[in-house]
Structure 1
Amino acid sequence: MRSRALLLTAFLVGVAASARPADAARLYVVDQEEDNVVVVDTDSDSVVERLSVPDGPAGVAVSEDGARLVTTHPESGLVAVTDLATGETVARLETEGQPFGVVVEPGGYALLVSDWARSVVARLPLNGGEDGAEVPVGKAPAGLVQDAARGRIFVANRESNDISVLNAADLRVIGRVETGAAPFGLALAPDGSRLYVANVQSADVTVIDAESLETVGTVPVGEMPYAVSVSPDGGDVLVTNQHGNSVTRIDAATLESEATIPVGEYPEGVVHATSSKAYVANWFSGELSVLDLAADREAGRIPVGTGPRNLAFAGRGRE
């Protein structure tokens, strides 16, 4: 795949450390309608900054050192990199399709991006020079997650009703696993043991053993499940239900639905801050829901804009 880096400023992999305090925890919220990323302090649950990004952001990821924010822009074919020390967009990577899901690889030297329109996964180097690599996967790839310990990448193929399993070293397809209908969001357990797949059209979650690639269970959830998050202790799984205006909490040990928590209108992204606290992006109501998982309730809402969709969390170790 041809991929050109249009550098607005010099982009170095060793960019300065993030401007946030070293012990701060930050939530990054993509606002697709207002073309920005809203930064939320998760200690005070308040908006502390709004970062301007190119038009129509969709996917979002933060580098492991917390220094760079990456957003995908399907309508323009761009992948943008923001320096969190300055809040400036420092790189715009052009692609030939519709980039959606994104992962910053360990070390921060490259990105993995799912291309919805071209049905490929691409590796984009962050040096502004050489072309990257790509591999065909299933139709309409959406969510993706990297299993760094095994050197694998999992990709949800929405229109193929399966996931592709890639070897991270050379982007070679090493397996396909059937799921429910229209898989979209993915999450890997913190210990790497299981992969959880939200299936939009069959209203369930497929649970896959990440080592053997065998399906170990299917859990019914609400209507139109979109995104998945696993608690830092691995005990709970949260799934947003777009048409149910709710979040389902699954017990990871029993694979049973334990609670349905009402949230805002048309929930999409979800992420744990700790094992007892999580956030949900409510697209149509323009808010974040703050979840108290010890009580299985919505503890509050944070107004963030007109189109919050996806989330990324960065900060101190999550307890």
Structure 2
Amino acid sequence: MRTHRPFRFGLAALLALSGALVAPTAGARDAPAGTTIEVGELPYGIAMTPDGRRAYVAVTGTGTVKVIDTRTLKPVAEFPVGPDSTDLAISPDGRRAYVVNDTLFSVNGALYVFDTATHGKTGSIGIGEVPISLAVSRDGRRVYVANVFSHSVSVIDTATGKRVREVTVDGGPVDVAVSPDGRRVYVADSGSGNADSVSVIDAATGQVVGRPGRLGSSTNGLALTPDGRQLYVTDRDGVVNVVDTRTGRTVGAPVPVGTEPTDVTVSADGRRAYVVNEQSNSVSVIDTRTRKVVDTLPTGTGPARIALTPDGRHAFVTLYGGQAVQVFRL
């Protein structure tokens, strides 16, 4: 880990270097489908509350989080979180919002904790350098943060509000996912050599216990199926790899999707995987049984992240290049 920072990149440059963002281009269709909700400059991370009634959006350009009512599709609240807040997650009980922030003039970033009822900050925890993604364990006891520049994953005990471990991985980690039983943590390593793969961390020991091998030129987003048996991994080559978490091997051939796929999520019933393609301005819909694309949703400029309502009826997509969130009825 570096002990000083001679200069500071802008957030967009950091995301581009990590493979999480590239310059958006025009979409294939003139009129993007779905309803758009204006939220402000450079929306990136998005998270849904467990009851599906609210969507929280990290708006990096304004240093705020916008809260959207998913029934009326209107912003109902906004609260400051600081500049360069890239991603966020909601606790399983819906009472806390965790926001990662690459704090200005600081070597390391911070994990901010907010009360979802009052939107007041209740905690600030030091983490690694340039945090870009995070995940909460299903029991809510741990938060895992992927730190690009420190090549590490910060492990947070939510009961004490303390960082309990820093796990070093290959390359620059850009995404993280936790198994349903909380025993394994999967990290997308984007870099060179062995780094273009996924590190598998034993949550109990903090040791890297597996790596399914090189998956492409630059791994990016991760999503587990609800049963935890398969891991969907996007790659900037324009494909999605499916990994059997029991064997650590890929299942079948890579699935071709759009250009520069970034984020991915799997529906609660496990039947569909949704892949955000930033350069094609689209979302590819994969049938998880056949591992084939069965639909493509056109988006506005620069789609970044996606979240589904728990009933699987709607998808919310942040448009980094469009200052909005786009909503699709599925």
TM-score range, shorter chain: 0.7 to 0.9
2:82 matches 1:64: no
Q: Deviations over 1:187-245 (max 9, x none)?
A: 11112221101112x11111111222110031011111110011111111111111111
Identify which range, 39-48 or 237-246, moves more after superposition: 39-48
Q: Letter of the 1:91 partner, please give it.
A: G
**Match runs of 1:110-259 below 5 Å:** 110-126=142-158, 132-149=164-181, 151-159=183-191, 160-177=195-212, 178-200=214-236, 202-217=237-252, 218-259=254-295
Q: CA deviation at 1:75?
A: 4.9
Match of 1:38 among 61, 66, 70: 66
Bigger RCO (CA 8 Å, 6+ sep):
2
**Match runs of 1:57-96 below 5 Å:** 57-76=85-104, 77-96=109-128
1: CA distance between counterparts of 2:84 and 2:184? 29
Identify which range, 203-212 or 71-80, moves more after superposition: 71-80
1: CA distance between counterparts of 2:143 and 2:52? 25
CA contact (8 A) 1:24 1:41 kept: no
Q: Residues 96 and 193 from structure 1, CA distance in 2 versus in 1: closer, same or farther, beyond 3 angstroms? A: closer
1: CA distance between counterparts of 2:286 and 2:262? 15
2:85 matches 1:50: no
Q: Residues 108 and 256 from structure 1, CA distance in 2 versus in 1: closer, same or farther, beyond 3 angstroms? A: closer
Secondary structure (helix, strand or coil) at the match of 1:132 reads strand
CA contact (8 A) 2:274 2:286 kept: yes
TM-score by length of structure 1 reads: 0.81
Which residue pairs with 1:276 in the alignment?
313
Identify which range, 271-280 or 229-238, moves more after superposition: 271-280
1: CA distance between counterparts of 2:161 and 2:261? 39
2: CA distance between counterparts of 1:31 and 1:130? 26
Which residue pairs with 2:8 in the alignment?
none
Q: CA deviation at 1:42?
A: 1.2
Identify which range, 138-147 or 74-83, moves more after superposition: 74-83
Number of residue pairs matched by the alignment: 273
Q: CA deviation at 1:74?
A: 2.7
2: CA distance between counterparts of 1:209 and 1:107? 23
1: CA distance between counterparts of 2:127 and 2:264? 27
Q: CA deviation at 1:271?
A: 1.4
2: CA distance between counterparts of 1:181 and 1:22? 35
1: CA distance between counterparts of 2:160 and 2:183? 25
CA contact (8 A) 1:180 1:205 kept: no
Q: Letter of the 1:53 partner, please give it.
A: V
Q: Residues 233 and 163 from structure 1, CA distance in 2 versus in 1: closer, same or farther, beyond 3 angstroms? A: same
2: CA distance between counterparts of 1:127 and 1:275? 31
Q: Residues 259 and 81 from structure 1, CA distance in 2 versus in 1: closer, same or farther, beyond 3 angstroms? A: same
CA contact (8 A) 1:231 1:237 kept: yes
Q: CA deviation at 1:25?
A: 1.5
Q: CA deviation at 1:117?
A: 0.5
Q: Letter of the 2:112 partner, please give it.
A: A
Which residue pairs with 2:57 in the alignment?
29
**Gap regions ≥5 residues in structure 1:** 2-20, 294-319
Q: Letter of the 1:171 partner, please give it.
A: G
Secondary structure (helix, strand or coil) at the match of 1:58 reads strand
2:320 matches 1:288: no
Q: CA deviation at 1:94?
A: 2.1
Q: Residues 289 and 109 from structure 1, CA distance in 2 versus in 1: closer, same or farther, beyond 3 angstroms? A: same
Secondary structure (helix, strand or coil) at the match of 2:85 reads coil
> Identical aligned pairs, as a percentage?
31
1: CA distance between counterparts of 2:101 and 2:163? 19
